[in-house]
């Protein structure tokens, strides 16, 4: 299960240098030992000993079977003492974080991260964002490369209020516009990548084609699942968070009026 990246980390994997999250193009590691990338497979588990926050990310000091190491993940609800799972596909050497004023001899940038839900059942970020039974992406490799959009089933009509299905169907006509719709909140995931993720439905759309649900994001909200709301926000299309997670449509800077 992929960690919704939510990471948004730009790693220049050329065996010459790495760029620190939030400082693309500025924080080059220097010296004879250049940053290098190694690739391994599988999920490893360890206990969090220390947490350092920087630029919306968490740098975790981990005890993995008696060995101490550093793992970087996007902002997530973890605490010292938690046992988490992580992959080791991207390992950086001599990585300099100017934000923390520290150079890591070795640090893992994890994309598959499993967070504790219960002692016997870790929960992945993919599940937290309600993606475990969905395929929200339509891209290959890195960057945005969606397939050609299908022709809308109905001609576009400018309206004061849209339905969830219409926002999906007319997303390209609504790009960068502020839209409004009425619906019921089905799920809220808080403080992930410094924002709340709110799923809204209104009974329209096709569950099989994933057009019955629309994701809104906001820096902070007080709404909860079950609330009937008037939701507003800016339409963003073809949003690629990397690692294969691609949203054809997403509503950002959302506001909600509970009815």
Q: Domain segments of the chain: what residues?
A: 37-128, 164-258
pTM of the model: 0.50
Q: Please give the CATH topology (third level) of the domain spanning 164-258.
A: OB fold (Dihydrolipoamide Acetyltransferase, E2P) (2.40.50)
pLDDT of 98 = 81
Q: Can you tell me the mean pLDDT for 50-61?
A: 87
Report the C-alpha gap between 244 and 225 in whole angstroms.
27
Judged by DSSP in three states, 120 sits in coil
Report the C-alpha gap between 257 and 89 in whole angstroms.
43
Q: Return the minimum-mean-pLDDT range out of 16-20, 60-64, 102-106, 131-135.
A: 16-20
Mean pLDDT value across the chain = 75
Residue 22 structure tokens: 């939030």
Considering only CA atoms, which of 7, 52, 47, 16 is closest in space to residue 34? 16
What pLDDT, in 10s, does the model give residues 166-223?
999 999 999 999 999 999 999 988 877 778 889 999 999 998 888 999 999 998 899 9
| 164-258 has the same fold as 37-128 | yes
3-state SS of 136-203 is CCCCCCCCCCCCCCCCCCCCCCCCCCCCHHHHHHCHHHHCCCEEEEEEEEEEEECCCCCCEEEEEECC
pLDDT band at 130 (very low <50, low <70, confident <90, very high): low
Report the C-alpha gap between 232 and 191 in whole angstroms.
19
Report the C-alpha gap between 222 and 190 in whole angstroms.
10
CA 158 vs. chain centroid, Å, equals 31
* CATH for 37-128, options being 3.20.20.70, 3.40.190.10, 3.90.1530.10, 2.40.50.1010: 2.40.50.1010
Look at residue 245 and tell me whether its pLDDT is greater than 60. no
């Amino acid at each position: 299960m992929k960690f919704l990246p939510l990471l948004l980390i730009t790693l220049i994997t050329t065996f010459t240098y790495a760029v620190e999250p939030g400082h693309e193009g500025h924080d080059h590691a220097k010296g004879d030992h250049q940053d290098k990338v190694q690739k391994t497979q599988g999920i490893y588990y360890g206990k969090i000993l220390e947490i350092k926050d920087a630029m919306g990310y968490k740098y975790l000091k981990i005890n993995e079977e008696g060995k101490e190491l550093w793992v970087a993940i996007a902002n997530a609800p973890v605490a010292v003492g938690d046992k988490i799972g992580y992959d080791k596909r991207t390992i950086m050497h001599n990585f300099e974080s100017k934000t923390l004023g520290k150079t890591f001899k070795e640090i893992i940038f994890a994309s598959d991260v499993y967070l504790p839900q219960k002692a016997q059942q870790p929960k992945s970020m993919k599940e937290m964002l309600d993606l475990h039974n969905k395929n929200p992406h339509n891209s290959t490799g890195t960057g945005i490369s969606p397939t050609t959009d299908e022709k809308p089933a109905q001609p576009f009509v400018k309206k004061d209020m849209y339905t969830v299905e219409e926002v999906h169907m007319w997303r390209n006509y609504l790009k960068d516009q502020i839209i409004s719709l009425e619906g019921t909140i089905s799920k809220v995931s808080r403080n992930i990548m410094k924002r709340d993720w709110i799923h809204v439905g209104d009974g329209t759309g096709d569950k099989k084609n994933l057009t019955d649900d629309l994701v809104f994001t906001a820096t902070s909200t007080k709404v909860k699942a079950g609330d009937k709301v008037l939701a507003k926000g800016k339409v963003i299309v073809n949003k690629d968070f990397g690692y294969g997670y691609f949203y054809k449509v997403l509503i950002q800077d959302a506001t909600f009026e509970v009815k």
